Structure 1
């Protein structure tokens, strides 16, 4: 893992630019998607907040001077990197801490998805989504740190977890759950996971029974992802500690991130040799 000095890593956030997003939001989530709604940047303000929180944690004053200029300035900076506004792109925003720091963006074609994936599953017919991803559980624990709480370029632990699960390509429809030394699920290597509620009845403040899903609390060591914030804010899920030992082979789950949205998954505890 990186040493923790400002020279050894950068703060990052990955999001999707998708020209179809404004229409999808207007048609299916006009009252349940965060402002500003008519933007092709997926969960845009959440990404800015995430970068600010990381810069504050690491005391990156130069980075904060740029980030705290606000959403309009942030959007203008991103716009300058988009090569073709008619196509979807995967943006990897990179923030360094140095005088005059702005941002750099690695832009690559985004994997094609059904646009409704960018919305919460209960707002769409997402349960009919195609082949679910395989969700493995890491065989070794990961110690929580500032580098699991905040997303940075220091991601060696996540890469190692993916390799232990046999995931060698970002194109594979597979994910691995990172587990802390207490045996609690922290997060996925590139996603936030959601599982069926364990034990007890649903929350009394959940009369329509949408809160049937849970995600690990940040106290378990995982990252405050943008889609996680969206799912919690709109009542798709609640926080609950999830012991890895309680996961069941073949159980349904969901995973999400800021590039692919929400993806149906299935837990696989017995990997093929």
Structure 2
């Protein structure tokens, strides 16, 4: 097997530090408990730690375990942001960890976001988000497509790694260029929606909770359907399905 890295992408945003102990953002987890400019850093660390555990990468487990790992990652993020000339602003940060435990961090430009976009108290129902029932509700900012090809599930779709041929292929079929406000949903080989190429999708299915994990058949998607999307760099976004590619 050719070498690969596990990785995660998160947001650096100086405004996040003000959420520490702010009662309006008591639901903000890591960023409520700690004055940190790293968006949900503990979540990102935990996800990489689970991947390192799966592949039994001993050296990587050593650098990703415990509170010392969080401090190490936070320092590496801040150093990369400073080197990129974005300290005190906001940035997209990519953290890569190799089997040998080496950490690489890259920082690049990102768009400004309101804190409510990063930590919403709820996701508006489609009729509300479309403006049919809530004044000032958000409008879709992303165009979403369903991939016409099926993607086989594997450890490389379950864990986030630099082996991304399946995601890159879906983006190519959808004609998505870097930086465009577009997303493509991967269709799994079992008939369900797997995930977005760079986001997690949320479908309105009359659930009573904030978000409930369940299988969503690709056949249940309807053109024009509004879909919430999220990722670690942009927070939550509203998209509109525009068919299959």
TM-score of the two chains, using structure 2 as the length reference:
0.85
Alignment partner of 1:34 is 2:18: no
Measure, in 2, the Cα distance between the counterparts of 1:29 and 1:176. Answer: 34
Q: What residue is the counterpart of 1:218 in the other structure?
A: none
Q: Work out the CA distance in 2 between the residues paired with 1:77 and 1:40.
A: 12
- 2:94 is the counterpart of 1:92: yes
Q: Quote the residue 2:133 is aligned against.
A: none
Cα distance, 1:252–1:25 mapped onto 2, change above 3 Å: farther
Which whole-Å CA distance do the structure 1 matches of 2:102 and 2:215 have between them?
37
| Structure 1 stretch displaced more, 158-167 or 21-30 | 21-30
Equivalent residue runs for 1:74-153 within 5 Å: 74-83=73-82, 84-98=86-100, 101-120=101-120, 122=122, 127=129, 128-153=137-162
Q: Which runs of 4+ in 1 moved over 3 A?
A: 24-29
Query: What are structure 2's unaligned runs of at least 5 residues?
Result: 130-136
Pairwise CA distance, 1:240: 1.5
* Secondary structure, counterpart of 1:8 in structure 2: coil
Unpaired runs of 5+ in structure 1? 203-208, 212-235
Q: What's the secondary structure of 1:177's corresponding residue?
A: strand
User: How many matched pairs?
Assistant: 228
- Report the CA distance between 1:29 and its aligned residue: 4.3
- C-alpha deviations, 1:52-71, integer Å up to 9, x for none? 11111111111111111432
Deviations 1:7-34 (A, max 9, x none): 5211110000001123357657422111
Higher strand share: 2
Residues 76-124 of structure 1, C-alpha deviations (whole Å, 9 max, x = no match): 23222221421101101011112xx331111111123333211125289
Change in Cα spacing, 1:39 to 1:123, as seen in structure 2 (3 Å) is farther
Match of 2:163 among 154, 159, 174: 154
Aligned equivalents of 1:35 and 1:194: distance in 2? 22
Change (3 A) 1:161 1:123: closer
Question: TM-score, structure 1 length as denominator?
Answer: 0.77
Q: Deviations over 1:121-148 (max 9, x none)?
A: 5289x94334431111000000011110
1:177 paired with 2:185, answer yes
Kindly indicate whether residue 187 of structure 2 is the aligned counterpart of residue 192 of structure 1. Answer: no
* Contact persistence 1:121–1:262 (CA under 8 A): no
Instruction: Answer yes or no: is the 8 Å Cα contact 1:24–1:116 preserved in 2.
Output: no
Determine whether 1:14 maps to 2:22.
no
